[in-house]
Amino acid sequence: MMLRREFLTQREDLEIVMIERDLSTQAAETASKQHLDIIKKLAKLEAECRKLRILAKTSSSLSSNQSVDSHSDGGRERVEGSCSDSWASSAFISELDQIKNEKGGNRSLQGTTSSTEIDLMDDFLEMERLVALPTETQAKNSKDGYELSLMEKLEKIQAEKDDLEREVKCCREAEKRLSLEIEAVVGDKMELEDMLKRVEAEKAELKTSFDVLKDKYQESRVCFQEVDTKLEKLQAEKDELDSEVICCKEAEKRFSLELEAVVGDKIEMEDELEKMEAEKAELKISFDVIKDQYQESRVCFQEVEMKLEAMKRELKLANESKTQAESRVTRMEAEVRKERIVSDGLKEKCETFEEELRREIEEKTMIKREKVEPKIKQEDIATAAGKFADCQKTIASLGKQLQSLATLEEFLIDTASIPGSARSVHNKEALLGKDPHECIKTINGRSLEFLAIQNSNNKTSPPCSSSSDSTTVSLIMSSNRGSSEKNRNGFATVFTRSRNSVNLGI
């Protein structure tokens, strides 16, 4: 920027110097043109002076020749000569006035007229004297007025000459000043030309340096754009690396926790390894023993394989029977639901019978007190007891059947989870395949009692009229009183079906 400013200032100074030089050259050209014009006018004046000299010579010769002529002819010639003289003098005066006006308008530029002009003026004055001498001798008597006018004109010309001399002096002084100024301007011009050359050289250098700087600026701009793109890429990579560092720190924390857990597990495993080594020693001892036993049991193993094949066949049969048992369980579940409905009806009937029995007992007590018609009362009591016994039997059979189904289902679930229970399952399937009129079978230490369920719509309970039946009814009542109390409070049955079994709860 500093170089550019210096360049601009020097350029402005150079322009100012060039303008001044142009003005000085224009002034010199105008001065030279005016000098040429003055020279031309002086040449014209010289020509007129020569004409006047010729006229003066001719007038002197004519005056000597015409002295003998008549007076009229001489007067006419005088008039003609005076007219020619007046014409020449008037032309000369007009030329001098014109020169004076031109010099008065261009005083600053008239210093260029040299001493030739002064010489010409001297010649002109001498010519006037020569012209004036014959005119004075020829017309002393007849032309006094005309001479006076000419003298006045000559005085005027003399005054103008003095003015012109003063102006010439001023012009010479101005010429000297102008010459000095021109020399100074020429020196300044030379200096300015040298300065211009130096400035042009500096300008060329500055231009080259400016071009170099411009190229460098373009290159730096391209580099700056590349740096910006690289910076953006690096910023994106930095962000990615920061996120990766955060993830790595989190992973490091996780790995440190896992390492601590692994170290703890390692310690535990080392403890277990020590225990296992101790067990290994014990097992080695036992292995030696077992090895001996193995040789003995190898013989038995073949027999066991035979038995295993037989057991596999039994297991297949047991699986088939299990599927059949599951289907039967579903059927029994449906039957249980039906029997539950029936048991609800029987429960209601039982409650009614109990109420009737209470009433009859109360009536019986009243009858015992009153001792009226004991036989009729005993028959009524026997019939009521028989009905009540039938109800108790049905209720007891239903309860036992439900209990047997629940225990059977639990047993099936327990045995299904044991792989070596094929025989017990087979036995259970055999039990399920038997008639429900069979009484008791024992499986795995549990007694299962299957009682015949008599449907009230299809079958009727046998009559019980004897005293033994009444005693059994009383026993059943006493034994099943708890169940009847449960039925009063509410007989709740929950069926929960799973994939393989049905759990029944009372």
pLDDT digits (tens, 9 = 90+) for 347-394: 787 788 788 888 888 877 777 666 555 555 566 777 777 777 777 777
**Taking the model in full, what pTM does it have?**
0.22
**pLDDT band at residue 79 using 50, 70 and 90 as cut-offs:** very low
Q: What is the mean pLDDT of the chain?
A: 65
Which tops the pLDDT comparison, 411 or 32? 32
Give tens-digit pLDDT for 293-316: 777 777 777 787 888 888 888 888
**What is the model's pLDDT at position 485?**
40
Q: Which residues contact 496 (CB under 8 A, 6 or more apart)?
A: 502, 503, 505
Distance CA 163, CA 101 (A): 12
Contacts 24+ apart (CB under 8 A), 197-205: 199/10, 199/11, 199/14, 202/7, 202/10, 203/7, 203/11
Spatial contact of 48 and 202, defined as CB atoms under 8 Å apart: no
Chain CA centroid to CA 360, Å: 100
**pLDDT band at residue 479 using 50, 70 and 90 as cut-offs:** very low
Which tops the pLDDT comparison, 21 or 467? 21
Task: Indicate if the pLDDT at residue 288 is higher than 80.
Answer: yes
Task: Indicate if the pLDDT at residue 457 is higher than 60.
Answer: no
Distance CA 330, CA 501 (A): 9
**pLDDT band at residue 59 using 50, 70 and 90 as cut-offs:** low
Distance CA 26, CA 31 (A): 9
Structure tokens at 307: 């038995």
Which has the closest alpha carbon to 411: 333, 500, 495?
500
Task: Indicate if the pLDDT at residue 165 is higher than 80.
Answer: no
**What is the model's pLDDT at position 450?**
36
In angstroms, what CA-CA distances link 454 with 108, 461, 504, 506? 167, 8, 21, 21
Helix axes 467-479, 374-416, angle to 10 degrees: 50
**What is the model's pLDDT at position 144?**
64
**pLDDT band at residue 458 using 50, 70 and 90 as cut-offs:** very low
Spatial contact of 14 and 22, defined as CB atoms under 8 Å apart: no
Which tops the pLDDT comparison, 492 or 65? 65
Distance CA 312, CA 292 (A): 29
